[in-house]
Each structure stands twice: as C-alpha cells, then as structure tokens.
Chain A
Amino acid sequence: MTKIFKYTWAILKGMGITLKYFFIKPVTVQYPKEKIKISPRWRGTLKQLKNEKGEEACDGCRICEKICPVNCISMEVYKDEKKNRRFTSSYTVNFGRCMFCGLCVEACPKKCLVHTTDFEFCTYERESLILTKDKILR
C-alpha cells in the first residue's frame, strides 16, 4: 500500500515539472514555416566567389581537389596566355559524396571557395547533386 503511495507521489512530482513547462513558450521550431537562425560559419554547399574584376577568382591550383578526403571535386584547367593565368574550364562538385568537412575551403589559397549557409538541397535524383561550374560560381 505504501508502495503505491510512493509511486504515485513520484509520478506526481514528475508531472509537476512537466506542468511547469506547460506554461512557458515552446522551444520547438515549426520547421517549414519557421526557420532557426543558421550560424554564419555553417558549412553548407560550396560556392566559388568572383574577384573584384568580375571574373572567376579560382586559378585551378587543384589544392581543394587533392585535399578532399572523399574525392568529390574534379576540375579541368587551361592556361589563358593573354591574361597570363590559369582558369578552370570545368569545376564539378559531387555533393552526393561530400561530407561537408570544410577542408577544401580551409585550404583554398585564393580564398575563393566558400561555404554557403544553405542546408536544404534534397532532390529526387542523384544526378542533381552533382553541381557543375555554372551552379557553383555565383
């Protein structure tokens, strides 16, 4: 008998705590309608920046390609004799493989490869996870 009393009392005490939280604002976020604030350091999809002249800043040094632990970056490089620098003719990132570790961004010597704060990139096909240069250079 005392046992039943003890159990009930414990449950009531627990309920008391729950009740306390019943009256304060909920902490959950109603996701598609509301969104939480993403930190600016968020490691989302990759993006290449342009330089101040409006042309691509990346000079195809291939450092990001080499450092990536899962080999998801691939590029083709050519040399522009007139401008006397290298350019990439293609730059592809396979986000199906990417684990968003940020090593490529950290290693880029031109600081032209950056993360976006974008985290919603679900698709129906795997192919659309492979982003080519026109989508990455923004």
Chain B
Amino acid sequence: MPDTAQLIENDVLARNLEGPIDKVDPSEAALFEHNVHHEVFRRLRREDPVHFLPDSAFGPYWSITKFQDIVTVDSNHKVFSSQPSIVIGDPTDNFQPPMFIAMDQPKHDVQRRAAQPAVAPTQLSELEALIRERVCTILDSLPVGEEFNWVEKVSVELTTQMLATLFDFPFEDRHKLPFWSDVATTSDAVGVVGADMEWRMKHLTECLEYFSRLWVERANQPQKFDFISLLAHSEDTKHMIDEPMELLGNLMLLIVGGNDTTRNSISGGVYFLNKFPGEYEKLKANPELIPNMVSEIIRYQTPLAHMRRIALEDFELGGKTIKKGDKVVMWYASGNRDEEVIENADEFRIDRERARHHVSFGFGIHRCMGNRVAEMQLRILWEEILKRFDHLEVVSEPERVQSNFVTGYVNLPVVLHAKA
C-alpha cells in the first residue's frame, strides 16, 4: 500500500521525528505497522526518556523508554497498578473482563499460581517430545522451492498446536484458538482502526460457551496438567465457572498471551536471519547457538511492544514526577534497543553475551508465565529446521500487523532450499 507508506513518511513519522518533542506520540499503530517506531523511540530515549503526552487518542499518558526505568516501574507493583487493563487504550465498549494479568495482589497471585503448573519446566519436559513430533510433521509437509507464506503455514499452525496442547483442547477444533485470539486483540483499545466491537462480543461469547463445556468435563475428571483442568481443580479458582466474565477474561489471557507472541517470534527469526546473513552462516556453522539465538530473536522482535500501568501514588522517575492516577506505558520495544544496557542494540547477534537480559517478557510479579514454553517451541523449531533445510529465503518484505501492542507479521513470503 504505497499511499499508506507515503502517509507515514510525510506525516506521522515526520511529525514524531521532527516536530516538537512535547508532541511526540509513539502510540500510533501505523508506526509499528511500517516498522518505523524504533526511530521515534530512539529520539525519545535521547531527548525525553520519561515522556509525558497530555493529549492523545488514548488520553494523557507517560512513555517509559529506557531499559532500567522499565525495570523500575515493572517491578514496583505497589505503586504501579495493572488494574483494570494492561494495554494503552480503554475499549470504547467498556468491555474489560477481569484476568490475572490485569489484577493486583493478592488476587493476581492466587490465580497465576493455579494456572502456572501447565507451563512450568517440569511439565514442559513432559511435553517436549510431542511438540518436537508436531514440528517435524509441519516441516516435512512444506513445499520446497516454491513461494509460500511462512506465517500461515508454520508460525500460526505451530503456535496453534502448542496452545491446543496447553489447553488439552480438542485437536480437530484447534483453529478456533487463533481465531478467538484474533477476535480478542482486534480492539480499538490497541489502535486497531474500525474494529467491530459487536462482532467481537458475539465471538467471545462463543469462546466462553465452548470452554465452559470443557471446564465441566474436566472438573468431573481427575486433575491433569492442562490450563482448564488446573483451574477447575484448584481451591482458589474452581468457582470461576460461576463468574463467567472472569473465566472469559482469563481464557483470553491464556489464549492471547501465548498466541501472537510465539507466532511472531517464529516468523521474526526467519526474517532477521535473512536481514543478517552473516548470523545465518554462524548458526549453520554452530547449531549450539540456538538457545542463545532464541533469546536474541525474542529481544529483537519484542512481540509485545508495551504494557501499561496506573500510578497509585506520586512517583519520581528520571527527574519527572508521575502523578497519582496517571497512565504509564512501559515501551518494551524501546527498552530492548537501549544502547546503555545492550551493546549495538539495533543489531541482531545470535551469539550476543547475556542474551537473556532483555525486557520482552517483562519483570516483576507479572513477568511472562509462558516464557519457557515459548523458548522451548522456538528452540525445537530451529533444531529441526537446521536438520532439514539448507536455507530459508525471505523473498520479499513482510506485511506487518497494525497495532501498538502486538508487533508482528501477517505475511512473510519465503522459499525453502533443500540440503544439497
């Protein structure tokens, strides 16, 4: 869409790069869609790292752009509340079902503890063989030597199967999961233009009905280690079935939390290795770099660009006073490119030292619960790719998601080259 690109060049981007600093607004979804948000954040980190914008499409808000400041805010849950929502905007239909990512202590803690065993390391070692088998099946079904969309055939399919496993969701119905995830994220609260909030409601209701049936089944069977069984059996959460909005909220969290993030890391890795061919060579020469590369992919992609908080009291940060009641947005997409903490942060380096030291999973009590599953999924995928293909070639620039929250790809055209 050249006209949109033009618009960006001429208007949104210019305004944010050359206009007065006090008007800079990194929340415009078009910046992310065209992958130019990094330039805006670079300016903010340099000129106004703790930045207040009194007026935006999402109301007044603070932008936190430096790595250390993000850690400070993220790990101070007593001052910075996650309620009632962790995305920058509030939905126009006011529909915000409760979910533990958007709850403070103590309720957050009990609900997270109930769900967490599904994705804890012990359980993951149980799942590894199954996940590997599925990766192999998908990779073996791909066309070699002809162009296809990597997002659709690999990233979406693999993530869907991973989620189906974590929910022990009926395999033949698994495509409902990414569909509901898309429904949940298609909200005007994250800058999606023209989101149909009524259509959204209808499908979320369907999702709730489907899972309520699974819940009742699982509640009547012995406890297992999928999300639904765990929640249905825990003393702290088993009554959630009588709180349909809270059940729906947590379902949305567990579906969305793992879906776009993992999917876009899967696509991102392919894209980055093509942008940095020297790194691809390093990887082929030394597959032992895979675990380190996985962290670097997750840093470089930053699948969730931000999390938001509300200040419960006045707080000094970077010489500014954040006032009680203010909305505070931690831009992970910016923290991950902060040169003060990460050397040559704009470069993708698979053998980076201390690659795990990134902000993509957040920090503090809300730190990503599913980080180890995501890492495992990516590790297995790359192990199996290297065994099979000589080269995974990106043949044209990807089409990206329009959102200031989920950063990712709609279309990534690739051609696979077989091993000689």
Partners in one complex: no
